[in-house]
Amino acid sequence: MSSIVVYHYVESPVSQLVRWYLALREIDHSQCLQPMTRPRPDVAILGVGYRLIPLVAIDRDIFCDTPLILDELEARTKGQERTTPKVTAGDSHERFLRQWSTESVFPAVVPILPSNMPMLSDEFLRDRAQLTGPSLTRDQRKLLRPMGLSKLRQEFHFVETVLLAEDQLWILGTSEPSLGDLYAVWPFAWAISIPGALDGRFVSIATERSRAIKVTTVNGENARQAILGSSFRVDAEVFDKLDPCGYRLDSLVEVSPTDWGKNNPTRGKLVGLSVQEYILEVEEKSGGALRVHFPRRGFALKPVSTSKI
């Protein structure tokens, strides 16, 4: 049984999706709770520069970015091949729901957050300005809110008239909630949970399934020790030497997201490369090697020059 540590903070909607996933699949895990703003020393001591939350350590491998985290957990749960998974029509439907909720629904929720929300403190806005550029003023936020509400109404309408057509209870027509429901519902559930974000005209489609899974809270140092005491998912990762970009095995590189968080790359030795993933070996605080996994979709790799001249 693998040891799983989820680095997250409770207000993070994307982390909520990962935690729901673990509940749905009844996977025991530990959580290492993080502050909402940086610094996050528990992450820094792992040698990971990537600043976004969640991160999930599965034994000695650390996975960044929620879609990759979920794909890895799902592949392990189903005992699937990672490079050539056997995708069924149901899986494709789930993937569509994940992409739609992440890329279309979630961006509509951000502008509807009430500007007096306690989470949006000056410290929080300063911290996020490093990530996304200068924050919007309160007046600019007010102007964007109607657009966000209108977009969200369209998405609710889509759920009610298309995804839940024929009055079915769960999106994939199952008798119980499935992964498709989690993917579809997470940004709506987040919006509904924020006082003042939505009003009573919106129908709650949020659902949460509570399961008797064991969640232990660990501090950063104990999490690091647990990670160091476990093994890599495989001895040597696959490295695609025919990759069109010509990246070299064991070369020093930096990987960062292409949307936001570009200023916080993770530096390490490129030890794995496939159509889906970049895998970097990084040095944690005491010099031990960990492997950090990034998806290629939405992330860029830059070779680091080691020349002295």
Ligand X SMILES: N[C@@H](CCC(=O)N[C@@H](CS)C(=O)NCC(=O)O)C(=O)O
Q: How far is the CB of 10 from ligand X (least distance, A)?
A: 11
Q: Does 13 bind ligand X (CB under 6 A)?
A: yes
Q: Does 178 bind ligand X (CB under 6 A)?
A: no
Q: Does 53 bind ligand X (CB under 6 A)?
A: yes
Residues in the chain: 309
Cis? peptide before 39, omega within 30° of 0: yes
In the list 5, 27, 29, 51, the residue contacting ligand X (rule: CB under 6 A) is: 51
The rounded distance, in Å, linking the Cα atoms of 152 and 214 is 34
Q: Does 135 bind ligand X (CB under 6 A)?
A: no
Name the token pair of 194. 């924020």
The rounded distance, in Å, linking the Cα atoms of 27 and 128 is 32
Nearer to ligand X, 131 or 249 (CB): 131
Q: Does 185 bind ligand X (CB under 6 A)?
A: no
The CA–CA distances, whole Å, from 16 to 21, 97, 245, 266 equal: 8, 16, 35, 24
Q: Does 293 bind ligand X (CB under 6 A)?
A: no
Q: Does 52 bind ligand X (CB under 6 A)?
A: yes
Q: Does 101 bind ligand X (CB under 6 A)?
A: no
Q: Does 48 bind ligand X (CB under 6 A)?
A: no
Alpha helix stretches (DSSP H) within 49-178? 66-78, 89-100, 106-109, 122-132, 138-158
The rounded distance, in Å, linking the Cα atoms of 67 and 3 is 20
The region of 48-56, 75-83, 149-157, 210-218 touching ligand X under the rule CB under 6 A is 48-56
Nearer to ligand X, 107 or 146 (CB): 107
The rounded distance, in Å, linking the Cα atoms of 168 and 174 is 9
The closest residue (CB) to ligand X is 66
The region of 11-19, 77-85, 160-168, 234-242 touching ligand X under the rule CB under 6 A is 11-19
273: nearest Cα among 296, 256, 298: 296
Q: Does 31 bind ligand X (CB under 6 A)?
A: no
Single-letter residue type at 84: T
Decide if 34 contacts 56 (C-beta within 8 A). no
In the list 4, 5, 6, 14, the residue contacting ligand X (rule: CB under 6 A) is: 14
Q: Does 237 bind ligand X (CB under 6 A)?
A: no
The region of 51-59, 80-88, 178-186, 201-209 touching ligand X under the rule CB under 6 A is 51-59
In the list 12, 30, 256, 266, the residue contacting ligand X (rule: CB under 6 A) is: 12
The span from the first CA to the last CA of the chain, in angstroms, equals 49
Residues that bind ligand X (CB under 6 A): 12-14, 38, 51-53, 65-66, 131
